[in-house]
Structure formats: C-alpha cells, structure tokens
Amino acid sequence: MASMFKLEIATPDRKFFSGEVEMVVLKTPEGEMGVLKDHAPTVVAIAIGPIRILQNGEWLEAFLSEGFMEITKEKTVILCDTAEWPNEIDVNRAKAAKDRAEERLQRQLSQMEYIRSRTALARAMARLKVTKSIK
C-alpha cells in the first residue's frame, strides 16, 4: 500500500472532501502539480480545473475553482470557492455558460470584461472536462 496523507477540501458552503489519500494532482497558475506524502511544506495558489485524487488505488476526479492549497507535515488543505463532483455539475448549464463566454469574447470588451469572460469560459470548460462532456 502506498504512503497515505490526510487531504481536506473546503468551500465556503461545505466540507467537500476529507480523507486519507495517496496522491493529489491539480492545476496551479504555473501548471499541473502533484502532491505525495512528505511533500515539502508550502502554500500555493490553485487554478480553475480538475483535481484528481488517488484513494485506495482508484482515481476520483472533481472540479475546483480558484483557491489555495496549504501543505503541512500533518495534512494538505485546499480552500476554494467551488468544488463539485461530476454528478453535481449541470452539463447543460455549463455548455450555456461556455457559449455565452465565447460570444462575449468575440466583442470589443473592456479589460475587466475580457478577464471576467475568460474566467467564465475557463470554469465552464473545466466543468465540462470533468463530466467528460468535452475532450
């Protein structure tokens, strides 16, 4: 059995996940990052995208929005705005959000509107990827 460590994922609304895991892989602004037991203590920003959790030899996948991850000797804690399992994602709503964001990006936008539209598109695409509705 692989070495295990404690993982907790929390949003403002709920404790999304709490358990012993073998590995976590998620997106950061610098790229994908993996965490194993005895990882160096650190705090890192997390980016919109999927999180993959290896627990008892099986991979679990979910959607995470922006947030932070703190890795300590005792446990790894992820605090994020939103966390959703694939069965919690409304695929039609995510597709509609993707279409709206793409449409907004076709227009002349202020810098703030552009950033908001890109972020909305990233969230929609990540949700659809987790549900396997897009490749």
- Residue 107 is predicted with a pLDDT of 83
Phi (first) and psi of residue 125, to 5 degrees: -65, -40
Q: How many domains does the chain have?
A: 2
The CATH number of whichever domain residue 12 belongs to comes to 2.60.15.10
Residues found in the chain: 135
Based on the fold, state whether residues 103 and 68 are members of the same structural domain: no
Based on the fold, state whether residues 76 and 112 are members of the same structural domain: no
What does the alpha-carbon distance between residue 106 and residue 110 come to, in Å, rounded to a whole number?
Answer: 12
The CATH number of whichever domain residue 121 belongs to comes to 1.20.5.440
Confidence (pTM) = 0.84
- Residue 69 is predicted with a pLDDT of 98
Based on the fold, state whether residues 118 and 61 are members of the same structural domain: no
Quickly tell me which residue has 């890795």 as its tokens: 71
Based on the fold, state whether residues 54 and 98 are members of the same structural domain: no
Residues 12-30 have a mean pLDDT of 96
CB 10 within 8 A of CB 79: yes
What does the alpha-carbon distance between residue 80 and residue 107 come to, in Å, rounded to a whole number?
Answer: 30
Residues 110-133 have a mean pLDDT of 87
Based on the fold, state whether residues 72 and 98 are members of the same structural domain: no
Based on the fold, state whether residues 70 and 119 are members of the same structural domain: no
Q: Is residue 37 part of a domain?
A: yes
C-alpha triplet 16, 53, 79: angle, nearest 5°: 40
What does the alpha-carbon distance between residue 68 and residue 58 come to, in Å, rounded to a whole number?
Answer: 24
Q: Is residue 135 part of a domain?
A: no
Residues 100-116 have a mean pLDDT of 86
Based on the fold, state whether residues 56 and 69 are members of the same structural domain: yes
Q: What is the DSSP letter of 39?
A: P
Domain with 30, as residue range(s), is: 5-86
Based on the fold, state whether residues 63 and 96 are members of the same structural domain: no
